[in-house]
Structures are given as structure tokens and as C-alpha cells.
Structure 1
Amino acid sequence: MRKAQITRNTTETKIDMQLQIDGSGQQTIDTKVGFFDHMLELFVRHGRFDLDLTVDGDVHVDAHHTVEDAAIVIARGFSEALGERRGIFRYGSFHLPMDEALVVCAIDISGRGMAVVDLTIPAEQIGSFATELVEEFFVAFARELGASIHVHQIAGKNSHHIVEACFKGFGRALAQAVAIDPTAPDAIPSTKGTIL
């Protein structure tokens, strides 16, 4: 079973997380930021991962540390659960339509952390969630996992739909990348012989 359990405590956030990559989309998520909880639930459901996540962060300041640190811990969980990255497809991509919005998400679990996020989100805030934190989430996730992540908006006018398409699409793309390639289940998917 590819799974991880992580506790991370700083002066800004206290996080407990349990992750199972090969799950069914079950989740218990409490970050104290309602819209972010909803986005993570969508990410987990569409990726078919199992996630228990509790974040106690300094949301009296804003949600920045909560979102960034949650991304770090979730990505660290994926990194630990994947180990040497042996047998994974490594690449994944998905076009996600959400009503009038269309977002493409692509990932390469390459060992090199980089995120390119190209979004035009009309609203600055959705609930207590600042929409600029969408990019912060993907940047932190890419850096911690060691992956190239691209999130590009092709269409969309409704802020909720655009962000929802990002998280659903990312779940689908990541699920493809971490899936085991049945033609090479023990191979490390790199001509270098290592990804780490």
C-alpha cells in the first residue's frame, strides 16, 4: 500500500495528515478555510486518493500559511508514499471543463520542482479564500514533490468554476502520473535511472 502519515508543526500551522494513494476518494478535511476544504475534497475525489487532513493555522491573519503548508504536507505525503518513483507513469495531463470554464493541468514527476500557473480569476476573494492562493498551492506542491506542474486556463469567467476546474483537473492529472505502468511495474521512469 502506497501511504504516508505526516505531522508538521510550526509557529504558523499545526498539521496532521494521512494519505493513501491507491484509495477510493474518501476524505476527512478540516483546514478552517471552507472554500479550500471544498477544493481539496474535489482534488481527492477526482484523484481517487484517501486523505485525512487537519490544519490548525493562523487564519486570524489570513489563509496564506494554511494553504501553503497544507500543500507542502500533502505533497510530502505523496513523495514519501511514492518512494523511488518505481513503476509510475510519471506524466499526467487532463483538460477539465467546468461549465464555461476550461483548465488544462499537466504534471511531470521529474525530481525538479517548478510550477507554471496561468489563470485569470475575476474575483480576488471566494469566501475567506484569496484567489491568489491558488498559485501558492501549486508552487508549494511542485517544490515539495519535485514535479513540474502546469495549470493553464483556456476559458472561464466565473471564479468558482475556474478554481474548481484547477483542483479537479489536478487530481485527475496526478492520478495518471502516480498510476503504476503495468508494462514496467518495477522500472524507474527515467533514462538517468533515478528521479530523486
Structure 2
Amino acid sequence: MHITIIGASNGVGYQSVLQALKKGYRVTALSSRLDTLPDDENLIKITGSATNPDDVERAILNTDAVLITIGTKQKKNSTLFSDMAKAVVKAAERVNYISPVIFISGFGVGEGYRYASIFIKLVISLFLKDQYRDKKLMEDIFEQSYLQWVMLQPGILSDAPLTSNYKVYSSFEKRMKVGKISRMDVADFMLKEASAPRYLKKRVIVTY
């Protein structure tokens, strides 16, 4: 299997690269900096931007799935997520990309805010309001595209170890308890979904 990981140098993207290589997958990694990634005969490194359609096109060509795990430390006035979505859709249209595109948003974006805990709502309102507004634009762009997308809304990401023991919801439920979740477990889910898609064109919440 050959997968593309956009935003591969840190966090979930980095963990996805390591887990994919361990599975024997061929991986194309797109990131603005690649020095954190290992050297491996199955790893193709492309230095570029997730918001540049030309770079994205090079990265996704002839692959079996795309994982998008980008993030930013910029709290105010960032358009990274919506700009990325526009670039991915444009690049995909150029090459008629029909394989799964699995992207990370955030729990509490859009309708999910009603189901978030008081703590998550507080974090969003105090620190992430602009980011979440842009993530909603990103979600809308993918939802309105022809792509075979999967929208992943994890809770607060942590550096806890891999458990592979998490719950998956494809709709909002009052009984959900969404808190912290390991980046390694999010990567685990994304790779499983890439190899055997179950949630195409659905919102997915992954939690313990």
C-alpha cells in the first residue's frame, strides 16, 4: 500500500509515518520541514506546502490514500486549514484522485460544540476560536467536494502510548465522553481507515 501523509513532520503525522513504515507501507511525506523523519527506503520525502496545489499534486499522485494531519501554533487569524483544503481539492481534481482522503479537524467544530465538555468549550473559546472557525471552513470545503473524504474529530491530543483500544462514533451522541486521546491511537485509526475504509463521507469521533 502507498499512502501520502500531508503534515508528516510532527504529531499525528509523524506517528503515522512511523506506524505505516512498520507495516511495510510505502509512504510519501509532504511537509515544510522533513529533518525529523527517518531515512527509509520506503519513505519518499517531499519538501513543500500543504497550501500549494502543485506540491500536493506531486505528493498524492498514484497513491492509495491521503492522510492530512496538519496543525499550526498560530492562534489568531490563521487560514491554514481552509487554504489547505482548497489546495487539496484543486490538486485532486487535476489528477482525478478517487482514493480516500482522511483529514483531522477537531472535536467541538461546528455542531460538535454542543456535545463538547465544559473544559473543551473553555479551551476553544479562550484559545482556539479563530482556528476552529477556519477548521469549519475546511470541513465545508471537503464536504462540498467530490472527494472520498473522512472527517476525523479527535479530542485533545496527548503523547500517551498506543493502545489501539478506542471507541469510534460516526454521529454525535449524548453519552459520548470525549477528552484526551493519544496521537499514536489517532494515527492507528487513520491507517486502519486508509487500508479498509468504513467511514467514507462521514464525520468520525475517536475517543476512549
Determine if the TM-score, normalized by the shorter chain, exceeds 0.5: no
Q: TM-score range by the shorter chain?
A: 0.3 to 0.5
Higher relative contact order (CA 8 A, sep 6+): 1
Which structure shows the higher helix fraction? 2
TM-score using structure 1 length: 0.36
